[in-house]
Structure 1
Amino acid sequence: MNQSIIVLIVDDEGATRQILVKHIPWQQLGVEQVYSAENGMEGLKLARELKPHIIISDIKMPHMNGIEMAKAIRKEQPDNCFVFLSAYADKEYLKTAIQIKATNFIEKPIDLEDITKLMTELIQEIKIRVFKMETNLLEEQLMTKVTLNEEDFVKLVLEAKPSFASNLNYYIAAFKLHVAMPSNEYLAYQEILTYNFPKESCIKSMDRVGILFLIVKGGEKWSQFKEKIQSVVSQMVEINKEGLIFISIINQSVRLSDLQEACEFVREGINRCFFEKENQVYVVQAAQPAYEVEHELFDTFEHELKEGREHELMMLLHTLYNQFEHSNGTSINYVKNVYFKLIFYVLQEVESRMLSSKLERREIIHRLNQSETLYRTAGVVKETLRKFFEMVQRAPTEVDDPFYKMHQYLEEHYQEIEFSIKDMANYFNFTQCYLCVMYKKKTGITINQALTQLRIDKAKELLKNPKLKLYDIAYKVGYADGKYFTKVFSKVTGITPKQFRERHWAYEDEI
């Protein structure tokens, strides 16, 4: 790979920037250029100048937060990998980050081993993607110019392959390869294509989003062409059973003058492979109508989850899957967002019952991000639900569970201005140090972070009442100083209490 990987680190804390720049083994990972910025505005400026492959950014920063910066960068550079850092598990921020396709989340204080492992995975994926882009450059130019008019397009084909004639018919297939193997082994796939389709009988070219087009002279029946394509897929799967291959073809041969339109048609078909069975040839047809989920589905899912009704939840997921499976005109981003929302309901319930750790949450979000088919996407949610109910069954009863009692203690005492961890430790007959270490190990956050999040959550509910003054709300959730309450609320949510209240009532008016 000729192009070196560029990493940009954006964080308003100098210590965090220094740790990431100096203590991640970037050179060993194959990264030669690492830059840093101290706020979102500076990060946006550098991103536009450098076009980094990976951006590691804090979420909450002055002038422009990480989410705002990422949205601006995404409009211009849709392929960057974003990794967000955050000291708080704020649901609104995470939901927004999911919508802009964040690659992963790292909670502060950062764990160098965890982030090094994540960087290793991301860099490997980037190397594979860039490797695909750099193969067969001459023929790549052919397909990146499909926006030419018909005359110029045909001329370009004839110049690239003089043996191609306008009076012949051609078959077209498009491949998108999700390869779980080192990039040098990717060549094995190319060899299979070359063996089955010699160069003199076809054009093979890859566009800039990794779709490989195969244009073959129509010297055989279409059914034979389809069988040969399926045989190629089987050979590829045999080499690497973890690989995922999307293939779309047109159900007839086309003339040279129709190649441009046909290439665009099979390109559209690649996206619809998300809804099809894995590693199967998809014959492109007109898209089915899009499916839009009723809001009642989310309410039902949340209710059944809180009630612990596993069978009903699985039936709901089964129905949802069937609806999407027969609606391949639906945007893949929309499908992903629906499943992300369901995942967040599960993760919130896991947290409220203190059943899981932050590492599990990051892993689930990452897997859902990387799911390339409807089947795999729905499978992540199903598996998460099963694990949730397994944890519920293994968990101690509320009477015996000390962490449930600690949660209840916080619920009962969060309004106290002089709340004391020492008093809490004495209540449970623990030393203060042991209580803090045990709580952090079990929940992934400190007691103070849990208390702050609880107070802010309670404040959000109170802010929905327009009759309550801000200083009254501050006092009701344990803050004697209204200005300090506003500062903490803004730090956790990214907006002031006043802005939260205004947005809530604006949303209510829209409904």
Structure 2
Amino acid sequence: MENLIKQLQEYTVLCVEDEDGIRKRLVNTLKYYFKGVYEASNAEDAFYLYKEYKPSLIITDIEMPNKSGISLVEDIRKNDIETIIIMVTAYSNEEYLLDLINLHINQYLLKPVNSDSLLNGIIKAFGNKLHEILSFHKDLYFDMSQRELFYKNALVPLRKRDKEFLILLYKNKNSVLSYELIEEYLWRDKSMSIAALKTFIKEFRKRIPIEIIINKPQEGYKLINF
């Protein structure tokens, strides 16, 4: 989750809500996640900001005076089906739901919206645009969607067992990865000899551009905290 949240900092968001108190709370929360946050209290101003700034995400209330959130989205969707849109409403209305499906809405949130439901809704709305990144060092990361390791944005060729070892190390980053766990997850139904493990670790270290593990004698291996 932490890595997914970090990726949101690459995006911008427009928050549309006519109730000032609710909008201010939403905007304050959104500022923790996004590099740019725009706000509007009505659909007319929101459409102007949309055309001006082309935000990555739009979060809009449905029920607003003069012009509804659905009308705003209809205007946007005339020429744009790519922008991610989350609709917020106090009512669970089947008629609204049908309209939202036709307008390619990415997510639908019911009021009251708290910080957890907002974040979960945002992550679901982004879908595959966000992917899990395992960071081992500021220059070294493993992209779970591609199952590839990168160093300074360059691909690091690895074997299947190397990748499994990296994932296992990350899952146990706050503790020592025991020999028993290594044998269970990397050797599976085969027996792991100490000689085989030493050979694997030696070759693994050669393929990784920087040293990221330390050996804990008679215990196992641990990620280095950079």
The TM-score normalised by the length of structure 2 is 0.53
Contact conserved, 1:11 with 1:39, CA < 8 A, in 2?
yes
Cα distance in 2 between the residues matched to 1:124 and 1:100 = 17
Deviations 1:29-67 (A, max 9, x none): 3x1101110111111111111111111101011222111
Q: Who wins on radius of gyration, i.e. which is larger?
A: 1
Highest relative contact order (Cα 8 Å, sep 6+), 1 or 2?
2
- 2:35 aligned with 1:32: yes
Give the Å deviation of 1:90. 2.0
1:176 maps to none
| One of 16, 20, 23 as aligned partner of 1:17 | 23
| One of 105, 111, 115 as aligned partner of 1:112 | 115
| One of 55, 60, 67 as aligned partner of 1:57 | 60
Contact conserved, 2:87 with 2:109, CA < 8 A, in 1?
yes
| Bigger share in strand | 2
Q: Structure 1 regions of 5+ residues with no counterpart?
A: 129-180, 192-234, 240-511
Contact conserved, 1:41 with 1:63, CA < 8 A, in 2?
no
Deviations 1:345-374 (A, max 9, x none): xxxxxxxxxxxxxxxxxxxxxxxxxxxxxx
Secondary structure of residue in 2 paired with 1:45: helix
Cα distance in 2 between the residues matched to 1:123 and 1:89 = 22
The count of corresponding residues between Structure 1 and Structure 2 is 137
* Structure 1 ranges of 4+ moved more than 4 A: none
Cα distance in 2 between the residues matched to 1:187 and 1:89 = 38
The TM-score normalised by the length of structure 1 is 0.25
**Structure 2: which amino acid aligns with 1:71?**
E
1:99 maps to 102
| One of 6, 11, 17 as aligned partner of 1:5 | 11
Identity %: 26
Deviations 1:125-180 (A, max 9, x none): 3345xxxxxxxxxxxxxxxxxxxxxxxxxxxxxxxxxxxxxxxxxxxxxxxxxxxx
2:137 maps to none
Cα distance in 2 between the residues matched to 1:85 and 1:188 = 35
Deviations 1:171-194 (A, max 9, x none): xxxxxxxxxx54823444799xxx
2:74 maps to 71
Contact conserved, 2:109 with 2:121, CA < 8 A, in 1?
no
1:413 maps to none
| One of 140, 143, 150 as aligned partner of 1:184 | 143
Q: Structure 2 regions of 5+ residues with no counterpart?
A: 1-6, 134-141, 151-159, 165-226
Cα distance in 2 between the residues matched to 1:41 and 1:106 = 22
Give the Å deviation of 1:118. 2.0
Cα distance in 1 between the residues matched to 2:103 and 2:93 = 16
Deviations 1:264-285 (A, max 9, x none): xxxxxxxxxxxxxxxxxxxxxx
- 2:87 aligned with 1:84: yes
Cα distance in 2 between the residues matched to 1:19 and 1:125 = 27
